[in-house]
Structure 1
Amino acid sequence: MSHRTAFFVSDGTGITAETFADALLKQFEIRPRRVRLPFVDDADKAHQAVRQINHAAAVDGARPLVFTTVVNPEVMQVLQQHCQGMLIDMFGTFIAPLEQELGMKSNHRVGRFSDVTRSREYHDRIEAIHFTLEHDDGQTDANLEQSDVILVGVSRCGKTPTSLYLALQFGLKASNYPLIPDDFERGQLPSALLPHRTKLFGLTIDPVRLSEVRHERRPHSRYASLEQCRYEVREAEALMRRAGIRVLSTTHKSIEEIATLIRQDLEARHSAAAT
């Protein structure tokens, strides 16, 4: 099964096809070779894609898995007639039942995002990404009040990737601050964060795992030593508990899970504040 190939074919970026396919493939103990084929938007490109798929079938000795979100009927016809892989039409599977249920025809629009780039939501998301990059790792206190969420935790516990995911996927302006030994000695959060307690979330991590992560960056350093990691995690957790902020562990949860929990909590807080 390791020699199986999975193709993600789209007349747009292919992101939807690959994301949807990932959710399906994770249900199986396989690691197929992955090939994304975006912008397959005419018959010539479809034939090129078919040649690549069929070549993989011959080399692998097994039918490739072909996940597609193609809406162009000409392209889809080429794939259906000539592709030697297992063709999984993700849009076709769901569009027809939705058309029947809603009593209307779909737009059959190619996902090129040309109109998305003109939307307010898109520009808000780009602005959130810029803001998050500027406020990574406590680089600046400027405009901190504009943050939708502020993450705190020891160095290398997952603050930066979680912040970027919140910005990229949910359009949230996310700042993050590292907790350092000076904060532990003072026994309180950095002063710049104190006015923003309602936006704070703490991230923590198992000290053993933290030591492993830090060793990748600074091997054999005190910074990466298990003793130092245990000290920092212990003190950071105590500090966050005293501050009364929610703490989430990144040890066994993915960035996606952590970000989703934070978003749910923020929505609950906003709903409570509105009532």
Structure 2
Amino acid sequence: MIDPTLLPSVPRAARTVRAAFFVSDSTGITAETLGSALLANFPSIDFRRHTIPFVDTVSGARSVVRDIDASAARGDDPIVFTTVKAMSVRAALEGASAVFIDLLAGHLEQLEQALGTTASEQLGQYHGVGDLERYFARMRAVEYAIEHDDGQSNRALDLADVVIIAPSRCGKTPTTMYLALQYGLLVANYPLTDDDFPSDGLPRAVSAYRDRCFGLTTTPLRLSQVRHERRPDSTYSSLAQCTLELRRAEDLYRRNRVPFLNSSTKSVEEMSAVILQSMKLRD
């Protein structure tokens, strides 16, 4: 999923609000991921998000329709993204008072034509494991990312494909999780703090893995805004502190030849693509 703190800031007065429903006959991950990727192109709108998984019966769909209609009655102008496969369930959902977007319609028909066969209507096929080894690799990667989030553990850092380093609130965690979940990469992240800058080298915890390190930065104003939401009116969120931390971090990256990028106007998907290419983790 895309981290809204990484999107360009838009004045609150200029923003509109819409409801977004992600409806699936399985876990909802596919519907939420694809739908959110589309919504990310509209940063001036606040979306009230509702993920509704395991809608695999007509009666279940009708219950969801009631929720969507209630949202419409409140003036939320709902948009429904769905990956539901059964035609009867999908037809029931289409009766909702909302803009209905079938994320997989058309593509399935194209595949049927290309492959010369009809797609199975078995539930969960969109979300099937497929390659079990790939599935388990992704789950292991997520567990690794959780253990190594924000420098919590130094265990097995030698196994990391990437070590993301950056000052607090530059986008380390969402990028780490995206790379783990989408690509099965073992990714750790480490926060740069005041204690890491007395020397010219990388922090001791990650210095042995310089060739696997990738840095993130942002703009001082953006970092100050994000931190202010967490700790308002603190030294931590002050523009002066943010400016200092970012300048020291970028100097550290350059001295140690660590590649880095500015996360202020990039989505998690874009940042991950740059990391994959820069670190030569995908052809």
TM-score, length-scaled by structure 2: 0.77
Specify the alignment match of 1:226 in structure 2. Answer: 239
Contact residue 30 and residue 127 of structure 2 kept, 8 A = no
Cα distance, 1:74–1:198 mapped onto 2, change above 3 Å? same
Cα distance, 1:142–1:207 mapped onto 2, change above 3 Å? same
* In structure 1, C-alpha distance between the alignment counterparts of 2:231 and 2:76, rounded to whole Å: 44
Measured after TM superposition, the shift of residue 150 of structure 1 is 0.4
* In structure 2, C-alpha distance between the alignment counterparts of 1:79 and 1:269, rounded to whole Å: 41
Cα distance, 1:11–1:256 mapped onto 2, change above 3 Å? same
Contact residue 117 and residue 123 of structure 1 kept, 8 A = no
Letter in 2 for 1:93: G
Cα distance, 1:26–1:167 mapped onto 2, change above 3 Å? closer
Specify the alignment match of 1:89 in structure 2. Answer: 102
Measured after TM superposition, the shift of residue 146 of structure 1 is 0.5
Contact residue 259 and residue 278 of structure 2 kept, 8 A = no
Specify the alignment match of 1:107 in structure 2. Answer: 120
Q: Counterparts of 1:1-275 in structure 2 under 5 Å?
A: 6-25=20-39, 34-54=49-69, 59=73, 65-79=79-93, 83=96, 85-111=98-124, 116=129, 119-266=132-279, 268=280
TM-score, length-scaled by structure 1: 0.79
Measured after TM superposition, the shift of residue 207 of structure 1 is 2.2
Q: Secondary structure at the match of 2:242?
A: helix
Q: Secondary structure at the match of 1:210?
A: helix
Map Cα deviations across residues 93-119 of structure 1 (whole Å, 9 max, x no partner).
Answer: 221222112212212332278852992
Once structures 1 and 2 are overlaid, which stretch shifts more, 94-103 or 173-182? 173-182
Q: CA RMSD in A?
A: 3.3
Measured after TM superposition, the shift of residue 147 of structure 1 is 0.5
**Greater RCO, 1 or 2 (C-alpha within 8 Å, sep 6+):** 2
Letter in 2 for 1:151: I
